[in-house]
Amino acid sequence: MAKGYREVSRDQLWLFPPSLTDLLGQDHPVFLVIGVVGRHLDTSAFHAGRRTGGPGAAGYDPDMLVTLLVWAYANGVTSSRRIEQLCGTDAAFMAICGPGQAPDHVTIARFRAGFAGAAGAFFAQVLGLCAELGMGRLGVVALDGTKVAASASKAANRTHERLAALAAESVAAHGDADAAEDAMFGPGARGDEVPQDAWSPRRRDGRIKAALASLDARRAEEQEAEQAKAAQFRARREDGQRTGPAPAGAAAVLAQEKLDRAVAAQQARCDDWDTRNAAKTAATGTGLNGPRPADPGEYARVRQAQEHLDKVRARAAARQQKKQEQAQGRPAPVRNITDPDSRLMPVRGGGFIQGYNAQNVTSEDGLIIATELTQDTGDVAWFEPMMAAARDAAALIAARRPAPSHDTASHDAGEPDGGSQDAGADRIGLALCDCGYCSEHNLTCPGPDRLIAVGKHRDLEKAARGQKQAGRSNTGPATQAMAERLKTPDGIAAYRHRGHIAETPHGHIKHNMGFRQLSMRGKTKATAEWTFATTVRNLFKAISAGHLTATALTALAS
């Protein structure tokens, strides 16, 4: 039994240790991060965005600000105001910026907003460091996408019609304001105008214009795509090739062209007959033998072409009606006036978020070797670009990977199944992808060997046990061959590693780091922030896996 309660002496003086190193301990990971950024990474890209030598107080060291953001993101802190607060209350944050030297939240926010051009180089620097530490096993890699919320609300989405109305209202409001100011101050400059170079897309008018322009560009791209399909159809037809059915979007135009050609051809025959008949009548007094060609409206081929045009128009009307009925359950094309570059993204379990689709390629040992933030709601178009980025990353890892020692090389030579430094360790051996990347093009395009699911994982498992067929039956030859390969014991066993390799980094970033929403707006800045977050994840993966230690840093420095 305790004797009693301890006295709470809140006025008791406390003598702090003489340094933050003594307070935290030399083995605290914050000192690893400080050492890595300050002595082992090239941060010149961050320094290039800072200006010094002018009037005013000295600026904050970019290395310190980078380290501060790395530590903050690793600990789930992305708010610049929260970072500023922790620099005055948290010993680890104090160790980075120094006691009493905390940067204010404006400095932190401006620095983060300005490193769009440096995030990619920083990612490559950390990836190279991880390679020097022996990470980056490329025997099996996995590609996967994850949805990341943007710094925008779904409620800020507007349709094309509403954006056009808002733009018109903005123009009218500006016109009324200009007229009122002219009446009050007179025409001409007043000396307090905002310079043109001070315009920012963060203004609401600019965001409305950007959102409207994005929807207009999408409509223009769809029209150009339909015109290109129609042009290819015409070219095949003129070359005498088998064309098949006309493209749906241009079928009515092509049918009208066919009717016009039939009418013109028959009218030309009628005109030719009339000319020759008049000439013979003038010369001999008698006309041509035989009847005159039928008028275009009575000619069989013209009537057939007209009937075909009517059918095409009817099918187009029915198709449009079906689209309208289907669209009642789906959101109409919209753009966000807070972040016009973000998109409505469908998420697992139903519903949508306003955000981006991040694509990551992850190595066998959990290192993100390539990343890209996209606006596409689907993944299929990003297999080939991400595999190209992964090959570039493999070349970087190969260039920075330390040469194996004699003992290691001898050991690996005796292992036919390959060690971490075998001949193929610096090449991607097998790429794993879920069914979101399945297409004939992705299965046959150049690149590493790949296993791309043709259906859901549970269906693949049932197909491997002979219980059912995975995916659709009416697919191309490459998809059918992949379905057969995934039925084999080796195929399904290799594919089972996809979930662990691909989805573990996403879970770490979103759950452990708490990074579920971007702070930056606009694709350029949002991409930089996502790249920075994946870089932080790679750096702390090296720390948690025991590769990045004070001893390892000392060895690299020597």
Last residue of a domain, one of 334, 359, 386: 334
Last residue of a domain, one of 275, 309, 334: 334
Asked which of 315, 334, 353 is the last residue of a domain, the reply is: 334
Q: How many CA atoms lie less than 13 Å away from 26 in the CB half-sphere?
A: 2
**Residue 330 counted as domain residue:** yes
End-to-end CA distance of the chain: 57
Clarify whether residues 288 and 354 are in a common domain: no
Indicate if 325 and 352 belong to the same structural domain: no
Q: Are residues 437 and 386 in the same domain?
A: yes
Same domain as 388, residue 259: no
Is 98 a domain residue? yes
Judging by beta carbons within 10 Å of its beta carbon (0-12, 13-18, 19+), is residue 537 exposed, middle or buried? buried
Q: Are residues 305 and 235 in the same domain?
A: yes
Task: Please state the φ and ψ torsions of residue 373, each to the nearest 5 degrees.
Answer: -100, 120
pTM: 0.73
Residue 257, pLDDT score: 82
Q: Which residues of the chain have pLDDT under 50?
A: 176, 189-192, 194-201, 408-423
* Count of domains for the chain: 3
Look at strands 430-433 and 352-362 and give their pairing.
unpaired
Name the amino acid, one letter, at 490: D
Residue at 264: amino acid letter: A
- Is residue 363 domain-shared with residue 347, that is, in the same domain? yes
Q: Which two tokens stand for residue 377?
A: 């709601």
Pair 210, 317 in one domain: yes
Give the domain extent around 442.
134-151+342-406+422-530
pLDDT at 402: 84
Query: Quick one: pLDDT at residue 108?
Result: 94
Q: Are 316 and 439 members of one domain?
A: no
Contacts of 323-332 with C-beta under 8 Å, sequence gap 24+, read: 331/157, 332/159
Strands 352-362 and 334-336 turn out to be unpaired
Q: Identify whether residues 256 and 397 lie together within a single domain.
A: no
Indicate the DSSP class of residue 49: T
Helix (H, G, I), strand (E, B) or coil at 516: coil
Residues 453 and 504 in one domain: yes
Structural domain includes residue 5: no
- Check whether residue 447 and residue 368 sit in a common domain: yes
Q: Is 551 within a domain?
A: no
Is 180 contained in some domain?
Answer: no
- Is 555 inside any structural domain? no
* CA distances for 244 relative to 130, 237, 247, 304, 313, angstroms: 54, 10, 9, 18, 18
My answer on whether 361 and 444 are in the same domain is yes
* Rounded CA separation 243/234 (Å): 9
C-alpha distances out from residue 362 to 246, 257, 556, Å: 42, 52, 25
- Identify any residues that bridge with 356 across adjacent strands, giving them in sequence order: 148
The answer to the question of residue 185 being in a domain is no
- Beta bridge partners, 372, equal 359
